[in-house]
Amino acid sequence: MTKTLEATLAPPTQGKAVRLCRLLSTYREALDEAFDLGADTMGGVSDVVTPFDLPYQAKAALCSYVPQLHKTYNAHELDDEHPLRFTNQAAKFDRDESRHYEICWNVPLPGYRTNFWIPLRLNPEQRSLWNDLLEGDAKAGQIQLKQNRSSWVFHIAVEYEVDDPETDGGETYIGFDIGESALITGCALRRNTPTKPMLESGSRARYLRKEMYTTLKRLQERNTSEWRTDERFGHYQNALTDIVEKVSRRAVEYARQFENPVIVLEDLSYIRDHLDYGKFMNRRLHAWAFARLQDWIEDKATEAGIPARYVNPGTRPRRATRAVASDGVVRKLSSGVRTTTATFQSSKRISTRRRISPVA
């Protein structure tokens, strides 16, 4: 199983902060040039990025990533906020329990003996996996480093062994759709019939994101001190994280009510690079943590012994006409349908879940 570990870099010194910002800027320049030139092979990307002042771990990550954008995801434009990517060769850590921040990461830089160490502030819930990674019981994958205002968020993919949940062939597939207006729309499939749909509203998360954008913009316009701006940003991020945690837990609880449940999710890899709904909507959707919510659902499902599978997103109908009541009766409607479990403003999500659920 693959899981992403998240940590925050301890506040860097001014010199280290400058080097991190320069590294991120150079990486994005190399990414933009390789993508714009249409490089779709590892060799072609290598020719483009070689002159850039980047560590070999970042260049190697670009050589793998850019061809995927062209060949696999048919991306037409790039997100402006791409994280800095490194291969797992950059997964070098030092551990000392006597330090305030126990684990430090060796940040790769171009040149000889230019790397520097920086402490990591770990997520306490992931400490056991960090132990497995450092002790060699889990394998390091790609590293991503993203700047959130004055803070830096560190992500590393780790692979570790888990026992596969046992099934007897009579699985009940539960498809989950992650969205903005509805955070999660879920539906179980029994005898090829959608059953007992669930819906989690996204109104609270959307309100918080809008309020965060407005608040931070006003603080910047007033030249408010940086610590105050960061404090408000952290407040909203914590509130949104709380929503993701609660909604993902309810999704797994919903799946557990069925016999032999199997959760089915859409593969959202590189979703940001092939969203094309206009500049305003793209920016709005890029800000929402679709993959993060899926990761939390998968993690909680694994802990509950429920298998999770990913499928490629199918072509969604422009207008769906089927909705399902809680008794399993399929009705044709042009608007919403009131069931005993929820009121659905549109039936298209239920139809979509029905399309992605059959994976066997």
Whole-number pLDDT of residue 182: 84
Concatenated DSSP letters of 82-106:
PPEEE-GGG--EEE-TTSSS-EEEE
Residue 2: predicted pLDDT: 77
What's residue 301's pLDDT? 86
Between CA 228 and CA 346 the distance in angstroms is 41
DSSP state of 50: T
* CB neighbour burial string for 75-84, b if at least 16 within 10 angstroms, e if fewer: beebeeebbb
Instruction: Give me the average pLDDT of each 10-residue run along the chain (360 residues).
Output: 87 93 96 93 95 96 92 78 93 94 96 94 88 91 89 89 61 85 84 80 87 88 83 84 88 90 77 48 49 81 84 48 32 31 40 46
Region of 182 (left: φ > 0; alpha: ψ -120 to 50; beta: rest) is beta
Q: Which amino acid is at 26?
A: T
Strand 93-95 to 84-86 pairing: unpaired
Contact status, residue 37 vs residue 67, Cβ threshold 8 Å = no
In DSSP terms, 55 is beta-bridged to: none
For residue 359, what pLDDT is reported? 46
What does R_g of the chain's alpha carbons equal in angstroms? 22
What is the structure's pLDDT at 288?
A: 54
- Both tokens assigned to 352: 């979509």
Alpha helix positions (H), the chain: 14-36, 42-49, 56-71, 127-135, 203-221, 226-256, 279-286, 290-303, 348-356
Coil/strand/helix, residue 60 = helix
Distance of alpha carbon 342 from alpha carbon 130, whole angstroms: 40
Give the β-pairing of 172-178 and 151-159: unpaired
> So what's the pLDDT on residue 349?
46
CA distances (Å), origin 232, targets 87, 207, 215, 236, 292: 33, 15, 8, 6, 21
As a whole number of angstroms, the distance between CA 338 and CA 196 comes to 12
Query: Quick check: 2 and 157 in contact, CB under 8 A?
Result: yes
The position carrying tokens 């160490």 is 117
Give me the residues paired with residue 116 across strands. Answer: 107
Is the separation of the CB atoms in 236 and 288 below 8 Å?
Answer: no
